Every structure is written in structure tokens, then in C-alpha cells.
């Protein structure tokens, strides 16, 4: 159980966002690290839990510049001699946001543990036949085994690394259109994610003019994440509208998004 945190005069649980897809290479770490950077940059006390034994999120954190807003990382895959797992993996008491990067090849019965206490679950899906097939099974397991109700608005899809003018992209969107699951965002295939990752940054921390398309695409994703979840959270936690894109620039203004990037419930 996550520790309670105080916001204003109210004590609440931190908002827990789980990024999950047992299919390797779907972009879980990219989404998890960018979310952590986004919320940290917005002033929320953020924890990044890395369950993947490859330690990609942990390596990303090790590259993060000291002048950037701090993110507390926990390598959940490590063993700690002489202490209990709960003690070794505890998060700071004032945590407001918890981002969970889950491993690939996750057994379907592990979904229960990974999603326990999650307020939002994001499932990245790539535009390929293999990934679409894997996504079908993953969604079924989340609904039937992890018991994630559709009507609580806790589960959403992120169409990831897309190239819009392709047949496979249209196939992906037809597949997503057949689901009763919201599509929180459509993220394009961009080198900006690689540039940011190499520096321990999120795309929102790149120069605004360089990453403007990514900033627009993330608007819908953050909007869905910050919708009221199954438990009450004070308004202060949902005050984020934009995040600084450059250390010397003010917060980015909202940009209009095209209809394909807006969250939709099919």
C-alpha cells in the first residue's frame, strides 16, 4: 500500500499510474519516463518504480541532470539482503505521483499484483499485426483476471510510434475502434523521444520549438490521466495544464489537437 501524502490540509493517496503491456518493445519505458519527467517538471513529487530487470527506467534516471526537478526512483527488481522488500522499496511519505514501469513477458496472473491500487492503467500498442494480436489478449486478461472494470475509466490505450499515412496505422485504428476502451493518445514515431532519453529528460523538457508536435500529442494523454479517478483527489493535484518545455521558457500554452489525438471512448 502506498503511503498517504498531504496536499493542503487533506491526506490522500498518491496517484498511481501503471504502464503495462507484456509484449516487449511496446514503449512502456518511454511512456513511463516521460510521464515521470512531466509531472516532476509540473511541481508534483514523483516516484518512478522500475519493475523491469533490464533497468531501463533506472538507467534513464541516472542520466538525469541535477538541475532538473528530482524524481525518486526505486529499482523494484533488485534484491536487498538484510531488509524486507517493503522497506527497501518504500516511497517518500510526501509522494504525489507514482509511475510504474512494468516488465515484458509478464504472466497474466501477475496482472493482479501489478495493477493493485492503480488509478490509471496505460497500455501502449504499436501499429503491427503482432502487437495488435498481443493487445487483444492483454486487454482480455486485464478485464477478466485483473478485474479492471470498464466503467471506472481506469484503463486506456496509447497508440505508440505511429506513422499516420500508412496502411498499418489505419489497421491499428480500426482495431482500437472495435474496443470499448478509450484511446488516450496517438503518439507519433519521433526521434525526439530518443534525444530526450539519452539525456535523462522528457520530451516536455526539450526546447519547445524542437518538440512542439510531441507537446500537442501529449495534451490528450495528460488530460485523460488527470480526469477524476475512482477515489477523491484534491483539486491541487489536478491543476496541471501545461509543463515548461525549456528551462528558460514559461509554461507551454495549450495547443489545439487534431481529432485523431483526442481521447475517445469507442
> What's the confidence (pLDDT) of residue 179?
85
**DSSP letter, residue 244:** B
- Residue 169 CA to residue 41 CA, distance in Å, equals 32
Higher pLDDT, 84 or 218: 218
> What's the confidence (pLDDT) of residue 81?
61
Higher pLDDT, 83 or 158: 158
Tell which CATH architecture fits domain 14-122+190-230+245-260. 3-Layer(aba) Sandwich (3.40)
- The domain limits of the chain are 14-122+190-230+245-260
pLDDT of 232 over the 90 cut: no
Provide the 10 A C-beta neighbour count for residue 153: 18
Nearest CA to 100 out of 203, 161, 41, 28 is that of: 28
Higher pLDDT, 82 or 39: 39
Q: Is 47 exposed, middle or buried (0-12, 13-18, 19+ CB in 10 A)?
A: buried
Q: Which residues pair with 96 in a beta bridge?
A: none
Q: Is 34 exposed, middle or buried (0-12, 13-18, 19+ CB in 10 A)?
A: buried
SS3 at position 148? coil
In tens, the pLDDT along 206-229 reads 988 888 888 888 988 999 998 865
> What's the confidence (pLDDT) of residue 88?
61
pLDDT of 9 over the 70 cut: no
pLDDT of 237 over the 80 cut: no
> Can you spell out the DSSP letters for 156-207?
EEEEEEE-TTSHHHHHHHHHHHTSSSEEEEEEE--HHHHHHHHTT--GGGS-
In order of 38, 187, 214, 253, the CA distances from 244 in angstroms are 9, 19, 13, 9
219 within 8 A of 257, measured Cβ to Cβ: yes
Q: What is the 3-state secondary structure (H, E, C) of 60-118?
A: HHHCCCCCCCCCEEEECCCCCCCCCHHHHCCCCCCCCEEEEECCCCCCHHHHHHHHCCC
Which set of grid coordinates corresponds to residue 59? 538507467
131 within 8 A of 81, measured Cβ to Cβ: no
> What's the confidence (pLDDT) of residue 177?
86
CA dihedral (42, 45, 49, 50) positive or negative: positive
224 within 8 A of 263, measured Cβ to Cβ: yes
126 within 8 A of 27, measured Cβ to Cβ: yes
Amino acid at each position: 500500500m502506498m503511503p498517504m501524502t498531504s496536499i493542503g490540509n487533506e491526506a490522500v493517496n498518491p496517484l498511481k499510474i501503471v504502464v503495462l503491456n507484456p509484449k516487449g518493445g511496446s514503449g512502456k519505458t518511454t511512456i513511463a519516463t516521460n510521464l515521470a519527467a512531466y509531472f516532476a517538471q509540473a511541481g508534483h513529487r514523483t516516484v518512478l518504480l522500475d519493475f523491469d530487470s533490464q533497468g531501463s527506467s533506472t538507467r534513464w534516471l541516472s542520466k538525469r541532470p541535477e538541475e532538473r526537478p528530482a524524481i525518486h526512483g526505486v529499482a523494484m527488481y533488485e534484491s536487498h539482503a538484510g531488509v524486507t522488500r517493503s522497506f527497501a522499496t518504500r516511497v517518500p511519505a510526501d509522494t504525489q505521483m507514482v509511475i510504474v514501469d512494468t516488465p515484458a513477458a509478464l504472466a497474466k496472473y501477475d496482472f493482479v499484483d501489478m495493477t493493485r491500487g492503480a488509478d490509471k492503467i496505460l497500455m501502449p500498442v504499436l501499429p503491427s499485426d503482432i502487437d495488435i494480436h498481443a493487445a487483444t489478449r492483454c486487454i482480455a486478461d486485464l478485464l477478466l483476471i485483473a478485474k479492471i472494470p470498464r466503467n471506472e475509466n481506469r484503463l486506456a490505450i496509447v497508440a505508440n510510434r505511429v506513422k499516420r499515412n500508412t496502411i498499418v496505422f489505419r489497421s491499428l485504428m480500426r482495431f482500437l475502434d472495435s474496443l470499448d476502451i478509450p484511446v488516450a493518445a496517438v503518439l507519433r514515431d519521433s526521434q525526439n523521444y530518443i534525444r530526450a532519453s539519452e539525456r535523462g529528460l522528457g520530451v516536455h523538457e526539450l526546447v519547445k520549438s524542437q518538440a512542439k508536435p510531441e507537446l500537442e500529442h501529449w495534451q490528450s494523454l495528460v488530460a485523460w490521466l488527470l480526469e477524476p479517478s475512482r477515489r477523491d483527489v484534491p483539486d491541487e493535484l489536478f491543476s496541471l495544464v501545461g509543463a515548461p518545455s525549456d528551462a528558460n521558457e514559461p509554461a507551454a500554452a495549450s495547443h489545439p489537437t487534431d481529432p485523431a489525438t483526442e481521447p475517445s471512448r469507442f
